[in-house]
Amino acid sequence: MKYVLKKIGTLILTLLAVSALVFFAFSLIPSNPAIARLGTEATPEKIAKLMHDMGLDRPVLERFGSWILGILHGDFGTSYSYNQPVTTLLSEKIGVTLLMSVMAILITCLLSFPLGIYVARKSDSKLDVLFTTINQIVMSIPSFFSGILITLLFGLILKVFTPGGYVSYKKDFLGCIGYLIFPAFAIALPKISMVVKLLRDTALKEADKDYVRTAYSRGNRTKAVFYKHVLKNAIIPVITFLGMTFADIIAGSIIVEQVFRVPGLGRILLTSISGRDYPVVEAIILLLATAVVVSNLVVDLLYKKFDPRIHV
Amino acid sequence: MKAFKKLWRLIFLSATLTVALCACGGDKAGDASAHITIGIPQDLEETLDPHEAMAAGTREILFNIYEGLVKPNSNGELIPAVADEFSVSDDGLTYTFHLRKGVKFHNGSDVTAEDVLYSIGRNADPSSETAYASAFSNVKEYKADGENIVITLNQKDNDFLQSMTIGIIPKDVTDIATNPVGTGPYMYVSRSPQENVILKRFKDYWGEKAYIEDVTLKICSNADSIVMDLLGGSVDFFARITSAQAAQLKDADFNIEEGTMNLVQAMYLNNAVEPFTNEKVRQALCYAVDPKEIINLAFDGKGTELGSSMFPAFGKYFVKEINDVYDVDLEKAKELLKEAGYPDGFSFTIKVPSNYQPHIDTAQVIAEQLKKIGVTAEIKLVEWESWLSDVYIGRDYEATVVGVDASQMTARAMLERFTSDSSKNFVNFKSDAYDAAFNNAISTTDDAKATEYYKECEWILAREAANVYIQDLAEMVAINKKYTGYEFYPIYVLDIAKIKPVK
Amino acid sequence: MDKTKTRNVKFILGLTLTGIILVMMIAGIVHTPYDPMAMDLSAKLEGVSFKHIMGCDNFGRDIFSRVLVGVRETMFVAAAVVFIGTFVGIIIGTVTGYFGGWVDEILMRFNDAVLAFPSVLLALLVIGIMGGGTKALIIALGIAFVPSFARIIRGEVLRIRNLDYIQCVRLYGASHLRIIVVHILPNLRTVLLSSVLIGFNNAVLAEAGMSYLGMGAQPPYPSLGLMLSEAQGVIYSNPWNAVFPGLVIVIMILGFSLLSDSLEKKT
């Protein structure tokens, strides 16, 4: 329990540091959002008034404080370029990105475990070279490239799905899943081969250990030993890996969203960054960072559960 | 052991489920009269207020939502809309509009004379800061007389009727910017930033009703993926594709219709930054850039070369000869650069909005052409939103390649932009001769004389090389074979109400 | 036995692929068959032929020449990024790991905060502040790569510092600077080698991704990611325009990862 509390404490500290970093980074930029909005119509009085309306005339620390307070109340401020509360603006888009990322993780798990176990068990056969070669190649394909190939093959040639035909999950949940499965697969592909490799390598390492040899020598059946001892020990690094991958998957989704024209956080992040819509950018970054930090925490806790010897 | 068998089964199941799901996803053609998805290259502006929105991309959509007392048809003529007839007094100073009966706003209320006066007042009020304020500065008085609206001008203005195309909005809707209410054939439903804008047919429209019930305007801001969206079938209609993109659609279910875009594509130069403050430098660029080669390389030879800020659809105002002011002459260009003090050339940055493929392609060819006179042009792609705020409004740029049109079909709207103190003068062009000619044009009441002055303006723009003029782009429209009826307008308009399903 | 064999195969394969990439890079610097920027109307969207072994793009530019220059661009950015990452990483990692205390506490807290961002996201942010282009991309990715290097090096420094012999040296009165320079830094090379190789790989991937988003080299300059993005517009008629630049990215990453794999296990 103490361990968990300590972990949560660090998590909060880290998030505070993230928000401070993001907020002050944007305060350093010389460009004034009020002037950017007024453009040629800008007069000193108008700028002053708009800055006052936007709350930009207050000291930085005070703004930071009220920003943090607002977030605690679920208020991320108002978008400069859309004049809407950031929460309304982002609510649906978060869902899209999250759904896609979770699907990518699911696909990774569903495909990589059986594949990895199969490859691990064949690791002493002739097929091993073939498997590891294929695996290594798949690992090297960036998801935006595989995304383009998937669009070409499944979208344009086989016509299994409509490129760009994303439908909102609020309107048609199954249709949305049916579309998102392709980008999610493109994101998952390199991750699958990484897990397969990890499973194979750890399984090989474990199989060399004394206790496994003892188990074999006691006359236990090969398969049983494999599942009971080897796999059990291989699962810990895999879980660690999956947890760390979550950050990667979210970052990857920003790019893959562009390939498949999925209107998630990626699109709005890109336009908000270039449109200097800082409240939106700050909110997205903070959200993504939270997702990453929380997933790391979950991994830490799982880790402890699987292997109580670990004391960090 | 068993557990793993189960796992395999689960995987198999989910795999088949995936395929089944996809099969559903792919087959959603649906009824063509019920719905159409139209791709647009950028999100609409923050404001959907018809008197505030300034981007052409926003106005072409708002055309479907708002109507003025009169509105343009596809021949460029003004036809009665919210007014059913109008007359002009002999001295050209008094305009009388008679309100059409039974015109309803999208919110269900009838259009009254107060609404019209309110709409005019928003622009004609001396303190007004709307996009049309300068066009209305000539209005002396406007009042209602029963069902007539009577507008009196200070002095005769041949273009004034064009100003009456401004949208009529209800006076009791205060949030028109986010909740547009007009009288047009389509009504606004919702928008999702960077994703889409949804319109619905207005069933109480006074005139010929639109054919298609639901319209989704899908924002396709990645120019590289438009072809994929069209081929895949997620977009049914996209205006302004390039000939290369059109070639990709040849064998697919699309008709490609050709017209002209009716805008002035040019490399617009910020006349207020070095070295473009020097007229000779600007002229050198004009001598070095070959519009013909651009049109051949990037547009399959389709497009009309231009020499000034005016395009053929303007009829009498367009002067074809201006195009001959600069014929490609690299020696002359180098000579001019030397005279200007840049014998070894210079380098500058062209900012191009990343969502417009035609402009990106043009900029790439220009950069290649300028190399020949030792000038290095770096291209920088920017998002449309930052183009608007940095380049157009902020004027923080050296050069940009875009197309510029006029909000109304008047020479004044087209050329006023380049007067020294115009708020729309994003190229910072300053020429006393130009200002004088323009003032002469707007102050004379003689139409023939005004035309001459406007032509003089065009010549000045060319001779002083305000910008490197290129072309009026050929407009290629990709329209799914399920639909027909698209009409080209001489102004930047996308008339959705005319699109109908093929029976 | 077997494992050494596969390891050797990996090493040779990795070396070959990396060799191919290096040759392409040198060609990109020294000589390309065509001017990668020269437009040729007659060769517009020409397919694969002996004249243009990877075909031509929308402007009739030779894709092979553009790929060569693209490889150069990617390698240059990746190398610069890894250099910034290691250089700053070593400084921060050594200072925090060696001296510890509140400096360590604060710097590492911020380091963790930065690590909580995926590197692409962080790079996007920096570019958003600085604007796109190659220079901005290098700085952005460089900053994004510092924290992971710093963390690895800090751990290693922490380990070495507590070794007995360092404690001995300190008892003899050696200065901190001397201990760091003479005794600690040289011992970092094993860790550095593998993390530099992995970092290089990630940098290649990040550069390709960012330039795909249009945040790297600007047209008409070729970069592999940008070429992929442009090829999407003609994907149906000229799929090779996308496949070749994509394949080169795959070969790059595959080569480096095979190399780093085999080296890591040998040491």
Alpha helices, DSSP H, located in B305-348: 330-340
C26 touches chain A (CB under 8 A): no
Peptide bond preceding B80 in cis form (omega within 30 of 0): no
Chain A, 232-251: which have a CB under 8 Å from a chain C CB? Answer: 247-248, 250-251
Name the residue type at position A285.
I
Q: Residue A148 is nearest to which of C119, C232, C251, comparing CB atoms?
A: C232
Chain C positions in Cβ-Cβ contact with residue A186 (cut-off 8 Å): none
For residue A297, the distance in angstroms to the closest alpha carbon of chain C comes to 12
Chain B positions in Cβ-Cβ contact with residue A114 (cut-off 8 Å): 4, 7-8, 11
Q: Is the pLDDT of residue C50 over 50?
A: yes
State the count of interchain CB pairs (< 8 A) between B and C: 65
Residue C71, pLDDT score: 95
Select the highest-mean-pLDDT range: A33-42, A245-254, A266-275, C216-225: C216-225
Contact B381 C230 (CB under 8 A): no
Per DSSP bridges, beta strands B186-192 and B500-501 are unpaired
Tokens 């943090």 appear where?
A68
Contact A268 B389 (CB under 8 A): no
Chain A positions in Cβ-Cβ contact with residue C127 (cut-off 8 Å): 273
* Averaged confidence pLDDT in chain A: 81
Residue B405, pLDDT score: 83
What is d(CA C139, CA C142) in angstroms, rounded to the nearest whole number? 5
Chain C residue closest in CA terms to B297? C41
Tokens 């936007």 appear where?
A54
Q: Give per-residue pLDDT as tens, C194-221.
A: 888 888 988 999 999 999 988 888 888 8
For residue B45, the distance in angstroms to the closest alpha carbon of chain A comes to 8
Q: Is the pLDDT of residue B472 over 90?
A: yes
The larger pLDDT score, comparing residue B122 to residue A17, is at B122
Residue B38, pLDDT score: 94
Chain B positions in Cβ-Cβ contact with residue A154 (cut-off 8 Å): 22
**DSSP structure class, residue B284:** H
Q: Is the pLDDT of residue B22 over 50?
A: no
3-class state of residue B98 by DSSP: strand
User: What number is the average pLDDT over the span C48-65?
Assistant: 89
- In the structure encoding, which two tokens stand for residue A248, read together? 């990667």
For residue B18, the distance in angstroms to the closest alpha carbon of chain A comes to 7
Q: Mutate which of B194, B237, B355 to test chain A, going by most A C-beta atoms within 10 A?
A: B194
Residue B30, pLDDT score: 56
Chain A residue closest in CA terms to C261? A136
Bridge partners (DSSP) listed for residue B348 = B377
Q: Residue A160 is nearest to which of B11, B22, B390, comparing CB atoms?
A: B22
Name the residue type at position B164.
M
Handedness of CA A73, A79, A83, A84 (dihedral sign): negative
* Averaged confidence pLDDT in chain C: 86
A297 touches chain C (CB under 8 A): no
Q: Give per-residue pLDDT as tens, B361-408.
A: 999 999 999 999 999 999 998 878 778 878 888 888 999 999 998 777
Q: Under CATH, what is the fold of the domain B264-474?
A: Dipeptide-binding Protein; domain 3 (3.10.105)
Contact A141 C250 (CB under 8 A): yes
C206 touches chain A (CB under 8 A): no
Contact C39 B368 (CB under 8 A): yes
Residue C105, pLDDT score: 79
> Class of the C3-264 domain?
mainly alpha
Contact A58/A136 with Cβ under 8 angstroms?
no
3-class state of residue B52 by DSSP: coil
Residue A31, pLDDT score: 59
For residue B383, the distance in angstroms to the closest alpha carbon of chain A comes to 6
B56 touches chain C (CB under 8 A): no
- In the structure encoding, which two tokens stand for residue A21, read together? 């970093």
The larger pLDDT score, comparing residue A241 to residue C149, is at C149
Q: Is the pLDDT of residue B189 over 80?
A: yes
Chain A positions in Cβ-Cβ contact with residue C209 (cut-off 8 Å): 142, 144, 255
Residues of chain B with CATH 3.90.76.10: 66-163
3-class state of residue C116 by DSSP: coil
Q: Mutate which of C237, C238, C241 to test chain B, going by most B C-beta atoms within 10 A?
A: C237
Q: Residue A274 is nearest to which of B7, B14, B386, comparing CB atoms?
A: B386
Which range is least confidently modeled, A272-276, B253-257, B468-472? A272-276
For residue C3, the distance in angstroms to the closest alpha carbon of chain B comes to 29
Contact C209 A255 (CB under 8 A): yes
Which range is least confidently modeled, A69-78, A144-153, B199-208, B263-272? A69-78
Chain A residue closest in CA terms to B421? A40
H or E stretch covering C228: helix C224-231
In three-state form (DSSP H/G/I as H, E/B as E, the rest C), the secondary structure along chain A is CHHHHHHHHHHHHHHHHHHHHHHHHHHHCCCCHHHHHHHHHCCHHHHHHHHHHCCCCCCHHHHHHHHHHHHHCCCCCECCCCCCEHHHHHHHHHHHHHHHHHHHHHHHHHHHHHHHHHHHHCCCCCHHHHHHHHHHHHHCCCHHHHHHHHHHHHHHHCCCCCCCCCCCCCCCHHHHHHHHHHHHHHHHHHHHHHHHHHHHHHHHHHHCCHHHHHHHHCCCCHHHHHHHHHHHHHHHHHHHHHHHHHHHHHHHHHHHHHHHCCCCHHHHHHHHHHCCCHHHHHHHHHHHHHHHHHHHHHHHHHHHHHCCCCCC
- In the structure encoding, which two tokens stand for residue C129, read together? 């502040």
What is d(CA C41, CA B77) in angstroms, rounded to the nearest whole number? 40
Q: Under CATH, what is the fold of the domain B2-43+186-260+475-501?
A: D-Maltodextrin-Binding Protein; domain 2 (3.40.190)
Q: Is the pLDDT of residue B201 over 90?
A: yes
Select the highest-mean-pLDDT range: B106-110, C11-15, C95-99: B106-110
Name the residue type at position C108.
M
* Domain boundaries, given as residue ranges, for chain C: 3-264
Contact B228 C234 (CB under 8 A): no
Which range is least confidently modeled, A119-123, A197-201, B493-497, C96-100? A119-123
* Band (B24; pLDDT cuts 50, 70, 90): very low
Residue B127 CB burial class (10 angstroms; 0-12, 13-18, ≥19): exposed
- Domains, chain A, ordered by start: 2-72 (no CATH), 95-311 (1.10.3720.10)
Q: Backbone dihedral region of A45: left (phi > 0), alpha (psi from -120 to 50 degrees) or beta? A: alpha
User: What number is the average pLDDT over the span B277-302?
Assistant: 93
Chain C residue closest in CA terms to B361? C59
H or E stretch covering B480: strand B467-480
* Band (B162; pLDDT cuts 50, 70, 90): confident
For residue A269, the distance in angstroms to the closest alpha carbon of chain C comes to 9
Residue B349, pLDDT score: 94
Tokens 């979550």 appear where?
A246
Chain A positions in Cβ-Cβ contact with residue C129 (cut-off 8 Å): 25-26, 29
Q: Which of B323, B336, B364 is nearest to B459 (CA)?
A: B323
Buried b (16+ CB within 10 A) or exposed e, B346-360: bebbbbbbbbbbbbb
C130 touches chain A (CB under 8 A): no
What is d(CA C116, CA B353) in angstroms, rounded to the nearest whole number? 32
Residue A312, pLDDT score: 42
Residue B23, pLDDT score: 42
User: What number is the average pLDDT over the span A115-130?
Assistant: 81
Q: Which of B273, B266, B279 is nearest to B347 (CA)?
A: B273
Q: Residue A261 is nearest to which of B19, B229, B395, comparing CB atoms?
A: B229
Alpha helices, DSSP H, located in B187-303: 226-232, 243-248, 279-288, 291-299
Q: Residue B224 is nearest to which of C41, C233, C237, comparing CB atoms?
A: C233
Which range is least confidently modeled, A117-121, A191-195, B282-286? A117-121
Select the highest-mean-pLDDT range: A214-218, A299-303, B470-474, C94-98: B470-474
- In the structure encoding, which two tokens stand for residue C186, read together? 């040289």
What is d(CA B452, CA B433) in angstroms, rounded to the nearest whole number? 14
For residue C145, the distance in angstroms to the closest alpha carbon of chain A comes to 14
Q: Is the pLDDT of residue A304 over 80?
A: no
Q: Is the pLDDT of residue C118 over 80?
A: no
Chain A positions in Cβ-Cβ contact with residue B23 (cut-off 8 Å): 160
Q: Is the pTM here over 0.90, yes or no?
A: no
Q: Which of B116, B84, B187 is nearest to B496 (CA)?
A: B187
Residues of chain B with CATH 3.10.105.10: 264-474
Chains that touch A (3 or more CB pairs under 8 A): B, C
Residues 6 or more apart from A23 whose CB is under 8 A from it? A63, A64, A67, A282
* Averaged confidence pLDDT in chain B: 88
- Percent of chain B, pLDDT > 90? 57
Chain B positions in Cβ-Cβ contact with residue C220 (cut-off 8 Å): 364, 367-368, 379
Q: Residue C116 is nearest to which of A140, A269, A293, comparing CB atoms?
A: A293
Q: Residue B248 is nearest to which of C37, C219, C236, comparing CB atoms?
A: C236
- In the structure encoding, which two tokens stand for residue C55, read together? 């075909």
What is d(CA A172, CA A150) in angstroms, rounded to the nearest whole number? 23
User: What number is the average pLDDT over the span B87-102?
Assistant: 91
- Percent of chain B, pLDDT > 70? 93
Contact B50/B167 with Cβ under 8 angstroms?
yes
Ordered DSSP codes for B170-198: -TT-S-TTTS---SSSEEEEEEETTTEEE
Q: Is the pLDDT of residue B29 over 90?
A: no
Contact A269 C124 (CB under 8 A): yes
Angle CA C142–C263–C115, to nearest 5: 30
Contact C16/C251 with Cβ under 8 angstroms?
no
Q: Which of A261, A135, A257 is nearest to A187 (CA)?
A: A257
For residue A101, the distance in angstroms to the closest alpha carbon of chain C comes to 14
Q: Give per-residue pLDDT as tens, B309-343.
A: 999 988 889 999 999 999 999 999 999 999 999 99
Per DSSP bridges, beta strands B254-260 and B483-484 are unpaired
Tokens 């796992």 appear where?
B7
Contact B49/B170 with Cβ under 8 angstroms?
no
Residue A39, pLDDT score: 53
Q: Give per-residue pLDDT as tens, A36-48.
A: 666 545 566 767 7
* Band (B347; pLDDT cuts 50, 70, 90): very high
What is d(CA B96, CA C42) in angstroms, rounded to the nearest whole number? 59
For residue C76, the distance in angstroms to the closest alpha carbon of chain A comes to 19
What is d(CA B475, CA B478) in angstroms, rounded to the nearest whole number? 10
φ, ψ for residue C32, nearest 5 deg: -115, 150
Q: Is the pLDDT of residue B120 over 90?
A: yes
Name the residue type at position B23.
A
Contact A258 C110 (CB under 8 A): no
Residue B36, pLDDT score: 94
Chain B positions in Cβ-Cβ contact with residue C132 (cut-off 8 Å): 380-381
Q: Under CATH, what is the fold of the domain B66-163?
A: Dipeptide-binding Protein; domain 1 (3.90.76)
Q: Is the pLDDT of residue C266 over 80?
A: no
Contact C208 A142 (CB under 8 A): yes
Residue B377, pLDDT score: 94
User: What number is the average pLDDT over the span A144-155?
Assistant: 92
For residue B261, the distance in angstroms to the closest alpha carbon of chain C comes to 21
H or E stretch covering B158: none
Ordered DSSP codes for C38-77: ---GGGTT--S-SSSTT-B-TT--BHHHHHHHHHHHHHHH
Chain B positions in Cβ-Cβ contact with residue C34 (cut-off 8 Å): none
Contact B244 C45 (CB under 8 A): yes
Name the residue type at position C91.
I
